[in-house]
Amino acid sequence: MKWIGRVFIFLLVSINLFCGTIKINKVRMNNTPAQLVFDISASSTPKYNTSYDEYNRLLFLEIPKGKMNTKFSDRPFVGKYIEKIDMIDYGNAVGFFITLKKNVGYKVYSLKSPYRIVIDLKSNVKKQFTVVIDPGHGGKDPGSIGFRKYREKDIVLSVGRLVREELGSEFNVIMTRSTDVFIPLAERSRIGNRAKADLFVSIHINSSTNSSSTGVETFYFSKKSSPYAEKIAAYENSFGEKYGEKTTSIAQIMGELAYNKNQEKSIGLARPVVNRLSQVNQMRNRGIHGANFAVLRGFNGPGILIELGFINNKKDVGKLLSKSRQRVMAKEIAKKIREYFY
């Protein structure tokens, strides 16, 4: 009779152990909606523990009493939402270390009939930065008029809209003007300040009495400038004076520390923008310059002014009028803005 009792106790313990074990039969990925699914055999709703390391984008999922009932490889799951998965068998639990891609959100929950642990995955791009795109001139102010009477205001508006299109899904993009309207210089910087924008990008086209002048250049705000940069800033500021605005009344609102920091940041964007635009448009690289532009002086943050080319240069204008080249320029400006932030 003793052996019968021993068998009974053994079977009772085995049943209890079996009932308490959670078998992970399959790990699979659903595409619509995006879900990482753990198919489970268990006697009751499986318990799980989760934690998330935001800095490393690491989601930890632990299944107590879990046992893998299949071989595991993370290869089928690496893609749009998941960077990698590591699985560790602790003996009395199974842990999954899931590294999510950038800007991916998650939600973990369990289902029954049959039992599953599900991780919903969703792109969660936060538009955390605000960028002001400022197409120069507009309305009664045509800007520079050059070869074949082409107007600066029309070309820069077209490029500005394309930059907005390129950045719109990732950034809060504010246009100082998106149509052919006149906006005073002071109001342009106020638009950026009201929005507490992180960056101000003004788009222009240069002009010269010499039709052989060519090339792209960028400017950042500086209280000190070279004679050449001072001449360009005076020319752009003169449009405000021409249409009844005293640009000297546009005050620098940054303190000295902020001024120095914003100047450093502005230079960090101005240089790669001019380098890349000169490359893709095969134009002369005229470099970067610090100058006292009223539209940059009034903005409380880093900003640059881009001169895409010369409107009275036949070759420059041919490139600036091309819709395909405008698209390329917008892509490159947007790319450098992304790199500036990320």
More confident of the two residues 41 and 242: 41
Q: Does residue 338 surpass a pLDDT of 60?
A: yes
User: Considering the domain boundaries, does residue 8 fall inside one?
Assistant: no
User: Which string of DSSP letters, residue by residue, matches 79-141?
Assistant: SSSEEEEEEEE-SSEEEEEEEEPTTEEEEEEEETTTTEEEEEEEE------EEEEEE--BTTB
Dihedrals phi, psi of 66, to nearest 5 degrees: -80, 145
Q: Where are the alpha helices (DSSP H) in 185-255?
A: 185-194, 227-242
- pLDDT digits 0-9 by tens, 164-213: 999 998 899 999 999 999 999 999 999 999 999 999 999 999 999 899 99
| Residue 6 belongs to some domain of the structure | no
The CATH number of the domain where 140 resides is what? 3.40.630.40
Decide: 156 and 204 in contact? Cβ < 8 Å: yes
Average pLDDT score over residue span 253-278: 92
Give the pLDDT confidence score for residue 165 in this predicted structure: 95
For the chain, what's the residue count? 342
For residue 20, give both structure tokens. Answer: 């308490």
Q: What is the pLDDT of residues 279-293, one digit of tens each?
A: 999 999 999 999 999
Looking at the domain assignment, is residue 10 inside a domain? no
Distance CA 342, CA 339 (A): 5
Neighbours of 223 (CB within 10 A): 11
**59 found inside a domain:** yes
Average pLDDT over residues 322-340: 97
Examine the domain organization and report whether 158 and 92 are in the same domain.
Answer: no
Is pLDDT at 8 greater than 60 in this prediction?
Answer: no
**Mean pLDDT, range 151-171, rounded to an integer:** 95
CB contact at 8 A, 201 and 133: yes
Residue 7 lies in a domain: no
Round the average pLDDT of the chain to a whole number and report it: 90
pLDDT for 10: 39
Within this chain, do residues 197 and 220 fall inside the same structural domain, yes or no?
Answer: yes
Cα distances (angstroms) measured from residue 220 to each of 90, 191, 333: 58, 18, 15
In a domain, 9, yes or no: no
Beta strands 66-68 and 22-30, pairing class: parallel
- Cα dihedral 140→177→199→332 (10° resolution): -100
> Residue 5 pLDDT more than 80?
no
Q: Do 42 and 164 belong to one domain?
A: no
Query: pLDDT tens, 54-91?
Result: 888 999 999 999 999 989 998 899 999 999 999 999 98
Whole-angstrom distance, CA of residue 26 vs CA of residue 28: 6
Residue 272 has pLDDT above 90, yes or no: yes
Residues 239 and 320 in one domain: yes
Question: Do 135 and 116 reside in the same domain of the chain?
Answer: no
Spatial separation of the C-alpha atoms in residues 174 and 162, rounded to whole Å: 13
Q: Is 48 a residue whose pLDDT tops 70? A: yes
9-to-12, 17, 125, 221 alpha-carbon distances in Å = 5, 12, 57, 85
Q: What's CA 156's distance to the chain center, in Å?
A: 22
pLDDT category of residue 20 using cuts at 50, 70 and 90: low
Of 90, 123, 156, the position where a domain reaches its end is 123
On whether residue 314 sits in a domain, the answer given is yes
CATH of residue 110's domain is 2.60.40.3500
- Do 141 and 99 fall into the same domain? no
Percent of the chain topping pLDDT 70 = 93
Residues 253 and 146 in one domain: yes
Cβ pair 62, 93 in contact under 8 A: yes
Residue 1 has pLDDT above 80, yes or no: no
* pLDDT over threshold 50, residue 266: yes
- Of 10-14, 218-222, 291-295, which gets the smallest average pLDDT? 10-14
Does residue 148 sit in the same domain as residue 84?
A: no
83-102 pLDDT per residue, tens: 999 999 998 999 999 999 98
165 and 291 housed in the same domain: yes
Q: How many domains does the chain have?
A: 2
The residue out of 123, 140, 158 marking a domain boundary is 123
Tell me what pLDDT residue 4 has: 45
Does 236 reside within a domain? yes
- Per the CB < 8 A criterion, the answer to whether 283 and 313 are in contact is no
- Residues 58 and 160 reside in one and the same domain: no
Q: Are residues 220 and 193 in the same domain?
A: yes
**Whole-number Å distance between alpha carbons of 262 and 257:** 9
Give the CA angle between residues 99, 100, 101 to the nearest 5°: 125
Residue ending a domain, among 123, 150, 167, is: 123
Overall average pLDDT of the 140-160 stretch: 94
| Same domain membership, residue 166 and residue 282 | yes
Domain that holds residue 68: 20-123
